[in-house]
């Protein structure tokens, strides 16, 4: 039998044992009530997010891809040769393909994602498209400690697109950047997508699209709790509320209870007052200067920043000092 030389390798970086039931119940028993935005992404939620990225009002994905495409050679230059490229939250590895076009000499790519099956499938597909590239798929929660496979390259560069960093609270963002600096070691690079502060009307429209896809995305969380945690939320008794909070510099998303009601999750009861909300997401926005200051506190030296003409979105390249 002919053996096929495989250029894809699978690793378990950490086991993701945080119990969804416990985490969600804690959030709903707190005051104010909250649920982490990471729970948006069940199958339906991932599909709805995909639809969001194609909405006229939702500029981040489109703008980031435009910047990536326009400046990919400069980014490849900054990343340097003989670096391994590590991607956090790689998903289908769609964005990295643009970058890879400008990095034909890249030898090692390490996609890291929490959803194992999808990650392995995407890594396999990518490895077949790039026979000269070694793909090390790592299933892990990259916000926690995880183990890396042994790599040949001298340097590491982390690619973290999507402005996902905007979902972190300030202290979580600091922990994350410090942990990333530790992984990268001095001289290592971070190529990261960061959404900018801008006209509030643009921000509000991006999270309140006319078609109501963002509303469905937010409400789908309740469907997920009904299905996976045996809850009995009635979706018609909650509404989508998203707004830019200027003092906090973030878009907030909430699910608003439209009446006094008691819902059950398994055998636990949760009471809602009319108007009470579940806070489901923060999406922080930054100025270039703000982001540079935070990064500097965490051991990064800003090297380069690429932007679209309207100055709505940035991709930063930073190096660990």
- Residue 164 in tokens: 């996902």
C-beta closer to ligand AVJ: residue 48 or 295:
48
253-259 contacts at long range (C-beta below 8 A, 24 or more positions apart)? 253/37, 253/207, 253/214, 253/218, 253/279, 253/280, 253/281, 253/282, 253/283, 254/278, 254/279, 254/280, 255/218, 255/219, 255/221, 255/222, 255/280
Q: Is residue 283 involved in binding ligand AVJ (CB under 6 A)?
A: yes
Question: What is the chain's Cα-based Rg?
Answer: 20
**Closest separation between CB of residue 187 and ligand AVJ, Å?**
29
Count of residues touching ligand AVJ (by CB under 6 A): 11
C-beta closer to ligand AVJ: residue 122 or 214:
214
C-beta closer to ligand AVJ: residue 71 or 207:
207
Q: Are the CB atoms for 11 and 137 separated by under 8 Å? A: yes
Helices 60-79, 94-101: crossing angle, 10 deg rounding: 40
Q: Is residue 180 involved in binding ligand AVJ (CB under 6 A)?
A: no
**Closest separation between CB of residue 97 and ligand AVJ, Å?**
19
Residue with nearest beta carbon to ligand AVJ: 283
Binding flags for ligand AVJ, 292-321, as an x/- string (CB under 6 A): ------------------------------
Query: Which residues, 60 to 79, sit near ligand AVJ by CB under 6 A?
Result: 60
Binding flags for ligand AVJ, 214-233, as an x/- string (CB under 6 A): x-------------------
Q: Is residue 166 involved in binding ligand AVJ (CB under 6 A)?
A: yes
Binding flags for ligand AVJ, 126-165, as an x/- string (CB under 6 A): ------------------------------------xxx-
Angle at 59 between CA 54 and CA 64, to 5 degrees: 95
- Residue 292 in tokens: 């540079």
DSSP state of 57: S
């Amino acid at each position: 039998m002919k053996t096929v030389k495989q250029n894809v390798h699978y690793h378990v970086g950490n086991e993701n044992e945080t119990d969804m039931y416990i985490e969600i119940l804690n959030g709903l028993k707190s005051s104010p009530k909250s649920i982490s935005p990471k729970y948006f992404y069940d199958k339906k939620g991932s599909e709805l997010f995909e639809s969001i990225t194609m909405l006229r009002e939702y500029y981040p994905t489109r703008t980031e891809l435009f910047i990536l495409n326009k400046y990919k050679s400069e980014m490849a230059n900054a990343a340097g040769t003989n670096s391994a490229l590590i991607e956090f939250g790689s998903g289908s590895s769609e964005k990295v393909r643009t970058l890879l076009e400008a990095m034909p000499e890249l030898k090692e790519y390490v996609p890291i994602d929490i959803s194992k099956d999808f990650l392995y499938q995407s890594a396999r597909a990518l490895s077949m498209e790039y026979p000269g590239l070694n793909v090390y798929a790592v299933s892990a929660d990259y916000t926690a400690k995880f183990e890396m496979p042994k790599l040949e390259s001298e340097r590491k560069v982390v690619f973290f697109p999507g402005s996902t960093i905007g979902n972190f609270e300030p202290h979580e963002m600091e922990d994350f950047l410090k942990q990333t600096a530790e992984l990268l070691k001095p001289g290592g690079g971070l190529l990261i997508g960061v959404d900018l502060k801008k006209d509030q009307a643009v921000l509000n429209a991006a999270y309140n699209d006319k078609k109501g896809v963002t509303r469905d995305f937010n409400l789908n969380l309740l469907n997920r709790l009904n299905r996976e945690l045996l809850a009995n939320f009635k979706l018609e008794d909650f509404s989508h509320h998203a707004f830019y909070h200027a003092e906090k510099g973030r878009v907030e998303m909430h699910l608003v209870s439209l009446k006094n009601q008691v819902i059950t999750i398994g055998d636990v009861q949760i009471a809602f007052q009319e108007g009470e909300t579940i806070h489901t997401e923060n999406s922080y926005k930054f100025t270039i200067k703000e982001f540079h200051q935070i990064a500097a506190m965490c051991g990064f030296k800003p090297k380069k920043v690429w932007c679209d003409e309207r100055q709505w979105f940035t991709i930063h390249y930073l190096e660990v000092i």
